[in-house]
C-alpha cells in the first residue's frame, strides 16, 4: 500500500518558470489537499478537492492551479514561479473512501521547492 | 465553520518532564479528533485519534481525551524524551463538513537532554 506519493522531492526553479508537482493516492479517498509549509510555520491550505472534477480554493491559492481528473491524481501547477513560492509543499488525502470511519489524513513526504 | 485552536509554541522541556499541549475546537455535527506529529524533514503522520466523546486516543506514551463539554482534545505525555522533539498538529474531521480535515497551526516541541 503506497499511500500518498509526491514527486519530485526537490526542485530548484528560476523566476518565471513553470512546473507541476505530482500527487497520487491509492486509497480511494474523496478528499485531496495541497498545503505549503514555510520554515518554522504551520500548514497553509492552497487548494483542495472533494472528488474528481471538483476543486476549491484554500487560504493561499494565488499563483497556483489544480485539476482533479481522476480520484487518484491531484497535480499542483505553478505557472510563473516567484521567490515567495519557495516552500515545502505537502499533498494529503482523506476519506471516507473504502473505510467510512477512518477519516484520518495521509500525507506525502513533501516537495522542497526553491525559486531563485 | 469548523476550526481548531492550539497553544502557540515553541514549548521547551527537559527530558522526563510532563507535557501538555492544549487544543480546542469548534465544529458542528460529530467530529473525529486527531493529533499529528511532524519530525524534522518529514511529512505529517497520525499520532493518535478519537472518534467520539470521552474516547481516549493513545500511542507511544501520548494520550488525549475527547471532551465534548469543553470542546477540547489536549495532548499529554508523562515523561518526554529528546526523540519527541517535533511539531504537533491538532486536527478535526466532521461528518457535517464532508470529512474535510481542518488543522491547527501546530506547536513546536523542543526536549533538552
Number of other residues whose CB lies within 10 A of the CB of residue A113 = 20
Portion 50-69 of A in contact with B at CB < 8 A:
50
| pLDDT exceeds cutoff 50 at B79 | yes
Instruction: Determine the distance in angstroms separating the CA of B70 from the nearest CA of chain A, rounded to an integer.
Output: 22
Does the pLDDT of residue A19 top 80, yes or no? yes
Instruction: Tell me which chain A residues have a C-beta less than 8 angstroms from the C-beta of B36.
Output: 105
Residue B107 CB neighbours (<10 A): 21
Q: What is the pLDDT of residues A48-84, one digit of tens each?
A: 998 899 999 988 999 999 999 999 999 999 999 999 9
Q: What Rg, from alpha-carbon coordinates, does chain B have?
A: 14
Q: How many other CB atoms sit within 10 Å of the CB of residue A51? A: 13
A105:B32 CB<8 A = no
pLDDT mean over A75-101: 84
Q: What is the pLDDT of residues B50-62, one digit of tens each?
A: 988 999 999 999 9
- What mean pLDDT value characterizes chain B? 91
Q: Which residues are CB-contacts of A115 (< 8 A; sequence separation ≥ 6)?
A: A12, A13, A14, A15, A81, A82, A83, A84, A85, A86
pLDDT at A87 over 60: yes
Query: Could you tell me which residue, B83 or A28, shows the higher pLDDT?
Result: B83
What is the structure's pLDDT at A29? Answer: 87
Amino acid at each position: 500500500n503506497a499511500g500518498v506519493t509526491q514527486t519530485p522531492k526537490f526542485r530548484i526553479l528560476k523566476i518565471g518558470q513553470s512546473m507541476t508537482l505530482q500527487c497520487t493516492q491509492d486509497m480511494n479517498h474523496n478528499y485531496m489537499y495541497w498545503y505549503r509549509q514555510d520554515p518554522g510555520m504551520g500548514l497553509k491550505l492552497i487548494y483542495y478537492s472533494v472528488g474528481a472534477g471538483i476543486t476549491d480554493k484554500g487560504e493561499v491559492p494565488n499563483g497556483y492551479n489544480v485539476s482533479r481528473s481522476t480520484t487518484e491524481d491531484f497535480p499542483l501547477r505553478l505557472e510563473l514561479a516567484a521567490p515567495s513560492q519557495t516552500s515545502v509543499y505537502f499533498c494529503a488525502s482523506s476519506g471516507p473512501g473504502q473505510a467510512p470511519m477512518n477519516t484520518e489524513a495521509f500525507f506525502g513526504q513533501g516537495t522542497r521547492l526553491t525559486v531563485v | 465553520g469548523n476550526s481548531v485552536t492550539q497553544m502557540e509554541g515553541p514549548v521547551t522541556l527537559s527530558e522526563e518532564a510532563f507535557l501538555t499541549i492544549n487544543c480546542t475546537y469548534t465544529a458542528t455535527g460529530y467530529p473525529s479528533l486527531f493529533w499529528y506529529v511532524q519530525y524534522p524533514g518529514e511529512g505529517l503522520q497520525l499520532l493518535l485519534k478519537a472518534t467520539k466523546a470521552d474516547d481516549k486516543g493513545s500511542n507511544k506514551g501520548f494520550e488525549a481525551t475527547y471532551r465534548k463539554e469543553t470542546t477540547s482534545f489536549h495532548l499529554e505525555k508523562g515523561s518526554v524524551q529528546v526523540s519527541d522533539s517535533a511539531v504537533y498538529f491538532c486536527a478535526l474531521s466532521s461528518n457535517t463538513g464532508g470529512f474535510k480535515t481542518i488543522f491547527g497551526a501546530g506547536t513546536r516541541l523542543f526536549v533538552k537532554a
